[in-house]
Amino acid sequence: MLVDMTLLAKALHPALPPDVWSSWNRDPFLILGLLLAAVLYARGIRRLWQRAGTGRGVSLWRVAAFAGGLLALVVALVSPPDAMSGALFSAHMVQHVLLMLAAAPLLVIGGSPVALGWMLPRGPRLARWWHRRRCLRPAWQRLSSPGLIWAVHLLVLWLWHLPALYEAALLDESIHVAEHLSFLAAALLYWWALLHGRRLTFLTGALYSFSTMLLSGLLGVLFVFSESIWYPAHSLLPYGWGLTPLQDQQLAGVIMWVPAGLVYLAATLLMLGAALTQETRRNGGARAVVAPHRN
């Protein structure tokens, strides 16, 4: 892909080490969106706790998780790593990891169905309206299929790292925004299906998270061991970070391979632990039923 240097410099706004801590994203729409999400969530939790009591319905640790998810969004999209991503592929990768493996699962943990129901002014009425619309359920069940969500999650991850799409996002801010939105949306759906989905057993969830670890890790491995630069745009600007473009790409691959892989591995182990606990309880209940008949 041939890139005009003037266009590239104007599009990327690469931050240099001396001024990196003063480079913050001040996009008003982004900041207002984050503030709106925080206000709506706080409003919903306050309304719920006024009715049910503090900590009832949505526990304190879930509220803390939601706050952590918003903080991860701020770090990824507002703080200096956003400016660094114009020069460093590894910084761009940190953004993706924060969006998909920090912000998304934390928001899903904190944004339980109960919390979301109280965020909107007529949340309970909307829930009742949805339950009456039986004609919409088949379409929703197809769209919310765990297998489809898993496939979309991986497809979004791999497609946006194709050189043509990745460099298009570097040069066009609207495409860049679409990239981040699709990463976050796909990850929210993925973690929602994994953590709140009723159509997914613990064992199947473990299989999904383990396969995601392998397939996303494979992309990281390709970055680490590739001897060529995938994204020439990152090698066209002098950025003074002490890394060659190839070293920057290898570091990005390590970030996708190891820290990201550990998150998926932790999810896999948690799912397996939950499946084992469920089976143990089921067997214990069966013994309790059978034992009296033996006497």
- Give me the average pLDDT of each 10-residue run along the chain (295 residues): 47 60 81 92 86 82 94 92 81 93 94 67 53 56 78 95 90 89 95 82 90 95 93 69 86 94 95 87 60 46
Number of domains in the chain: 1
**pLDDT at residue 1, rounded to an integer:** 44
Distance of alpha carbon 38 from alpha carbon 188, whole angstroms: 17
Task: With beta carbons less than 8 A apart as the criterion, state whether 255 and 194 touch.
Answer: no
| Residue 46 confidence (pLDDT) | 86
Q: Give the model's pLDDT for residue 5.
A: 46
Q: How far apart are CA 102 and CA 282, in angstroms?
A: 33
Examine residue 176 and state whether it is found in any structural domain, yes or no.
yes
Q: Is the torsion defined by CA of 157, 12, 230, 240 positive or negative? A: negative
Find, among 140, 125, 173, 165, the residue nearest to 1 by Cα: 165
Hey, CA dihedral for 186, 191, 193, 194, is it positive or negative? positive
Placement of tokens 């129901």 in the chain: 117
Cα 43 from chain centroid (whole Å): 24
* Residue listed under structure tokens 């999400």: 37
pLDDT score for 161: 94
Is there a domain that residue 212 lies in?
A: yes
Instruction: Kindly state whether residue 182 falls inside one of the protein's structural domains.
Output: yes
Take residue 295 and report the two structure tokens written for it: 């006497």
Instruction: Residue 289: count other Cβ atoms within 10 Å of its Cβ.
Output: 8
From the number of C-beta atoms within 10 Å of its C-beta (0-12, 13-18, 19+), residue 10 rates as: exposed
**Domain annotation covers residue 291:** no
- H or E element that contains 11: helix 5-12
Looking at the chain, which runs of residues are DSSP E strands?
none
pLDDT at 234: 76
Query: Coil, strand, or helix at residue 274?
Result: helix
Query: For residue 245, is it within any domain?
Result: yes
Please indicate, yes or no, if residue 3 is contained in any of the structural domains. Answer: no
- 136 in a domain, yes or no? no
> Would you say residue 2 lies in a domain?
no
Of 265, 236, 239, nearest to 23 (Cα)?
A: 239
pTM, two decimal places: 0.83
Q: Which domain holds residue 106?
A: 9-123+145-284
Q: How far is CA 19 from the centre of its chain?
A: 29
